[in-house]
């Protein structure tokens, strides 16, 4: 069972992806975290963003692992726990830039397919190109979206709760800038797959979206559901 969740930053993909993975006993893969880890490796090595060849080598050789249960997942880069370091605004911007490089995308997509296919029960993958590129034959595809203001509000509140310094205005500006880059890049831009179920989460609470997603999964893949709880 492969569940694809795509959409812009702050639409609820991670939270809902983790909830679905737990409920349906599937592996959870945050593909954005992989691009963030590559970006961090690039920054740490001081490689400029225009040096595509060196960045491709880093993407190929960096050892990126996502370990642990969905809600306590750690992101490891060459054996170092970078779960916190990859969540800064700078890391988000760097990830958005690194993810425009085709060679990096090819390497990440290969990894993501291998991880998704290796899970005996299946996998929930969230990102920008899961339903369109990584698993175009996914059992079910969701596209979660929300207004930039709603997404910025959520991100800002999350940052506050985790003690990260930010302002609502900066967060909104950063979200708009990243959206623009994610939808306008040449390789695998953020798009809505033809067969995706689109959910606008702006006015919905988490449990409403979760129930809608579960109902869609039950409708489209009833034989593949084996909930744990």
| Under rule CB under 6 A, residue 141 binds ligand DC | no
Among 128, 141, 151, 155, binds ligand DC (CB under 6 A): 128
Among 12, 17, 32, 131, binds ligand DC (CB under 6 A): 32
| Under rule CB under 6 A, residue 4 binds ligand DC | no
Cβ–Cβ < 8 Å for 156, 10: no
| Under rule CB under 6 A, residue 127 binds ligand DC | yes
- Cβ neighbours of residue 140 closer than 8 Å, sequence gap 6 or more: 3, 4, 197, 216, 217, 220, 221
Among 83, 96, 145, 201, binds ligand DC (CB under 6 A): 96
Residues 73-92 that bind ligand DC (CB under 6 A): 92
Place of tokens 């606008």: 200
Shortest approach of ligand DC to residue 227 CB, angstroms?
26
Q: DSSP characters for 151-196? A: HHHHHHHHHHHTT----HHHHHHHHHHHHHHHHH-SSS-----TTP
Pick the piece of the chain touching ligand DC (CB under 6 A) from 31-39, 50-58, 142-150, 212-220. 31-39
Pick the piece of the chain touching ligand DC (CB under 6 A) from 126-134, 139-147, 161-169, 197-205. 126-134
Residues binding ligand DC (CB under 6 A): 9, 31-33, 35-36, 92, 95-96, 99, 127-129, 178, 182
């Amino acid at each position: 069972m492969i569940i694809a969740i795509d959409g812009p930053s702050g639409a609820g993909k991670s939270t809902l992806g983790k909830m679905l993975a737990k409920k349906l006993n599937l592996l959870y893969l945050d593909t954005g975290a992989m691009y963030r880890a590559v970006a961090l490796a690039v920054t740490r090595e001081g490689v400029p963003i225009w040096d595509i060849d060196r960045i491709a080598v880093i993407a190929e050789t960096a050892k990126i692992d996502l370990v642990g249960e969905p809600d306590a997942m750690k992101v490891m880069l060459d054996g170092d726990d970078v779960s916190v370091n990859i969540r800064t605004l700078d890391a988000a911007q760097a990830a958005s830039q690194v993810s425009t490089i085709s060679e990096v995308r090819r390497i990440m997509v290969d990894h993501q397919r291998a991880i998704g296919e290796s899970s005996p029960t299946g996998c929930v993958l969230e990102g920008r190109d899961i339903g369109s590129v990584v698993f175009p034959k996914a059992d079910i595809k969701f596209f979660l979206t929300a207004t930039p203001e709603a997404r910025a509000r959520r991100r800002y509140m999350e940052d506050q709760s985790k003690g990260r310094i930010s302002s609502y205005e900066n967060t909104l500006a950063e979200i708009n800038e990243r959206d623009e880059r994610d939808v306008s890049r040449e390789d695998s831009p953020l798009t809505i797959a033809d067969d995706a179920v689109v959910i606008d989460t702006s006015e919905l609470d988490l449990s409403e979206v979760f129930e809608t997603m579960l109902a869609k999964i039950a409708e489209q893949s009833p034989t593949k559901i084996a909930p744990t709880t």
